[in-house]
Amino acid sequence: MTEITMPKLSDTMTEGRFGTWKKSIGEQVNRGDIIAEIETDKAVMELEAFASGILLEQRAKPGELITVGTVIGLVGEKSATLTPSTPEVSAPTPSPVTQLGIGPERFLGEDEASGFPAAIPQQELHQEQAAPVVRRRARELGIDLSQVHGSGPGGRILLDDLQRFSGVLFSEAESPPLPVHPEEETVVQAEAAGMGHIFQGTPLTSAAVPLTRMRSAIARTVSEAWRTIPHFYLTVDVFMEAAEEIRRELKSSGSAVSINDLVVKGTALALAAFPQANASLRDDSIVSHSEINIGMAVSLTDGLLVPVLRGCEHLSLLDIAAQSTRLVEKARSGQLSEVDLAGGTFSISNLGMYGTESFAAVVHPPQAAILAVGAVRDAVVAKNGQPAVVRKMKLTLSADHRIVDGAYAARFLGEIKNILETPVRMLV
């Protein structure tokens, strides 16, 4: 008999919310089958079976918050004895409250006698063609997924499909204003062009929107990082003409790479030369990592995820480009696994595609540093005493002063700059 336990799906995970069983009691389970869905502090993930047999017990109910390592089910032979007191929880589709990540105390549509969720409408069975994050958003918008055409692989429904179907930007749907009585019109005071004008306008309204589980996890992580990590910051300008020329040459030969791919590859090469920037703090010790696993911050509608490119020291520039594209697609379709999110030793956050020139990112504990990447812009500089237009990008390194000192961090950042300005080194 094999115990199914609540897995540790990320470095920071201590508990997870059980989503739904994908197998019923008495059903055959083969190693590698998807047996359940788990909601972590970062995403909704599919739980694979690590042993074959019959599903004998289901000890977890949809929406239940469970500590890592707790037994949630049993797989064994047919002759094994089932526990009579353990009811079968067969729920191919989570209840609406579970989908929204709200607590387990109460389910919408709950049957008062049984304590289990009431039957889910037939139209929602179509949700198997959509990732959990898409199903949650469809519920929030009141969209019947059976009416949505999926543009993903095999007709899978993506977040973009929901937005096209509804015609509503998700940012507009997330925070509807509270109704206001006509008599509650107020005088809005605002400073316009620094003149302190007073305007008579429509009333100011506000709505208290509970944090999603992802936003709660982000809030906990960054608050702890800001409170405990002594940050310091360094910024350099990188001249990108040569790097952009490499991009054009690769694209013309059928091998497209992004600026971010070049930054990841250049950072990996620099980390190999400056291993202390690839270290972590554990208790009172600095742990040096033999692998260079770079996490990439990926923006989502309601937060962000940091999937990890593992073994970057062994990856070519084209390997990095291919794997980065795959991880970003998985992140935005809600298909990341625990392996995709765990084990990062360094992180990169790129806001250049939004036109941001420079910014400082918060170090992701227990890592030593994070690199913030700005936009590539035209800039006028002095060359040989004459003004010249160049293509320039700002890189800002945020570092944990307990692990890395200023001079070391400056040399490390300078090495990234040198590699990006002589990008032929990344093609070797």
pLDDT: is 315 or 157 the higher one?
A: 315
pLDDT at residue 236, rounded to an integer: 97
Of 149, 314, 364, 401, the catalytic one is 401
What CATH number does residue 341 fall under?
A: 3.30.559.10
Domain boundary among 96, 113, 140: 96
Q: Which domain holds residue 315?
A: 230-427
> pLDDT band at residue 110, thresholds of 50, 70 and 90?
very low
**Domain membership flag for residue 367:** yes
Summarize the confidence of residues 30-53 as an average pLDDT. 81
Please indicate, yes or no, if residue 67 is contained in any of the structural domains. yes
The arithmetic mean of pLDDT across residues 179-205, rounded, is 42
Q: Which of 96, 112, 139 finishes a domain?
A: 96
CATH number at 63 reads 2.40.50.100
Residue 196 has pLDDT above 60, yes or no: no
Q: What is the pLDDT of residue 174?
A: 43
> Quick one: 255 and 398 in the same domain?
yes
Residue 70 lies in a domain: yes
Q: Residue 197 pLDDT more than 60?
A: no
Higher model confidence: residue 42 or residue 104? 42
Number of domains within the chain? 2
> Residue 135 falls within a domain, yes or no?
no
pLDDT at 134 over 80: no
Residue 394 has a CB neighbour count (10 Å cut-off) of 20
How many helices (H) and strands (E) in the chain? 10, 21
Over 80: is that where the pLDDT of 181 sits? no
Structural domain contains residue 49: yes
pLDDT at 177: 39
Residue 46 lies in a domain: yes
Domain end among 44, 77, 96: 96
Annotation says 126 is catalytic: no
Find the mean pLDDT for residues 374-400. Answer: 95
Tell me what the mean pLDDT of segment 55-72 comes to: 89
Length of the chain, please?
Answer: 428
- pLDDT surpassing 70 at residue 154: no
Classify residue 185: in a domain, yes or no: no
Beta strands in 2-128 (DSSP E): 2-5, 15-21, 28-29, 34-39, 44-48, 53-58, 65-67, 71-76
412 pLDDT more than 50: yes
In the predicted structure, residue 282 carries a pLDDT above the cut 50:
yes
C-alpha 391/C-alpha 388 separation (Å) is 10
In a domain, 246, yes or no: yes
Question: Mean pLDDT throughout 234-261?
Answer: 95
